[in-house]
Amino acid sequence: MSFSVYESYVALCNNERVIMHDIDSNTENTIILPDLESERKIDVHNKVDIETYHMITSLAFSEDGKYFAVCTNRKQLCLYETKDLKLLSNRTLIRAASRVRFSSNNDIVIADKAGDAYLFSTSCPTEAGTFILGHLSMLLDVLVTQDMKYVLTTDRDEKIRVSMFPNCYNIISYCLGHEKFVTNISELPHEKSILISCGGDGIFKLWDYKCGSELISVNFYDKISKCDIERFNQDLRDCQYDESVDILPVKYLRVYYFSKIESLIIISFYSSKILLVYKISGDKNTQLKANYLESITVETEPIECLLHKQDLWVLTDVGLRVFKFDNDRFVTHDALNSTIKCLNTSWQILKNTIVKRNLFPVLYKRKYDNVQEYQERKKIRLAGNTE
């Protein structure tokens, strides 16, 4: 489940469908993804119908809006032209993707759950992806810098790695300091030489990433309610996970250029209706400051959120809701919310086909009772010997 916005286009998706809504013309088109292209079509895995879990996990526009890419958890990557919704490629990934992004030259970079990153060309859309680097741990985010000189990757083992691009075997630095997995990274919009990162430790950090130097660290422990944390811990227990947390993991980090000296950042979380809003000011040569502005509460846990032209778009089970930035606060954008009512009507119809899924199993350790399993097998074996 994902959505993206570029100019007047709003793309909204769930399962195998993408809705493309043009706000200016008030028109709407629906795209059904093509069948998976593979030499060996897999319909069943571990006795489960794979189509049951066929969900779109990422949808994104290129920076110039010329293309949009759709990636599903069944290892499918589709590239479309935005203007005429023409399918340019339908490629199969080696492994399921954990993060999909466009680079500034419109190529697609993908981080996968095996710890590898691949680059997919848009100029040669039928070519297979090119392997660019690998980690020993699962990748959670990947970013090719705006100047196309570096690729930054984060993994489940708290590391942020900075490599040259495209010669990614040349590692420049590591940004080390997080105590848990790092789920999100982004260049600071008003100062591209600074990286912002966050994940599972209740802190976001700003880095001079080229030398791996931490600039500031901001704790947001006190911004999250204990009820939300306990609800998340109960979810972990219900799913038989070992860990108990005292802060919620970050789901999304969104950034926006506000001025030559300031950027806005939004942070959303798993198992919480809260979004935190900060304004970052300064640069490496002056004092960097992170000012907390507010907490925004929406109806349910945000499925996804993004910043577009100083507007905050939030997708929940209820639908899309838009806020505009006014006097250092986000307020409801009544005009735009009225305009997208028909899009939310489509969402209400389509969301009924969404398969509820667990969003955090890759981040935490699961407990297995091997002793109990062994004893059960032993009982069966002994019972068979006595017969």
H/E stretch holding 109:
strand 108-112
Q: What is the pLDDT of residue 48?
A: 42
H/E stretch holding 227:
helix 226-238
Taking the CA atoms of residue 243, residue 248, residue 250 and residue 256 in that order, the dihedral angle to the nearest 10 degrees is -170
* Integer Cα distance of 170 and 16 in angstroms: 39
Quickly tell me which residue has 């969003």 as its tokens.
359
Q: What is the pLDDT of residue 243?
A: 80
How do the domains of the chain map onto residue ranges? 1-134
Query: 366: exposed, middle or buried (C-beta count within 10 Å: 0-12, 13-18, 19+)?
Result: exposed
Q: What is the pLDDT of residue 45?
A: 44
**Whether residue 166 has a cis bond before it, omega within 30° of 0:** yes
Q: What is the pLDDT of residue 348?
A: 85
H/E stretch holding 376:
helix 370-386
Give the pLDDT band (50/70/90) at residue 304: very high
CATH superfamily of domain region 1-134: YVTN repeat-like/Quinoprotein amine dehydrogenase (2.130.10.10)
Q: What is the pLDDT of residue 38?
A: 62
Average pLDDT across the chain, whole number? 89
Cβ-proximal residues to 383 (8 Å cutoff; 6+ apart), any chain: none
Give the residue-averaged pLDDT of 45-58.
50
Quickly tell me which residue has 């019972």 as its tokens.
383
Q: What are phi and psi of 327, to 5 degrees?
A: 55, 50
* Integer Cα distance of 333 and 318 in angstroms: 16
| pLDDT tens, position by position, 184-205 | 999 999 999 999 999 999 999 9
Give the pLDDT band (50/70/90) at residue 288: very high
Question: How far from 371 is each of 153, 241, 243, 290, CA to CA, in Å?
Answer: 38, 17, 20, 49
Cα 168–chain centre separation: 22
| pLDDT tens, position by position, 56-105 | 578 999 999 999 999 988 899 999 999 999 999 999 999 989 999 999 99
Q: What is the pLDDT of residue 385?
A: 67
Closest CA to 254 of 205, 174, 187: 187
Q: What is the pLDDT of residue 267?
A: 98
Query: 29: exposed, middle or buried (C-beta count within 10 Å: 0-12, 13-18, 19+)?
Result: exposed
* Integer Cα distance of 339 and 4 in angstroms: 17
330: three-class secondary structure by DSSP: strand
| pLDDT tens, position by position, 126-140 | 899 999 999 998 999
Cα 248–chain centre separation: 16
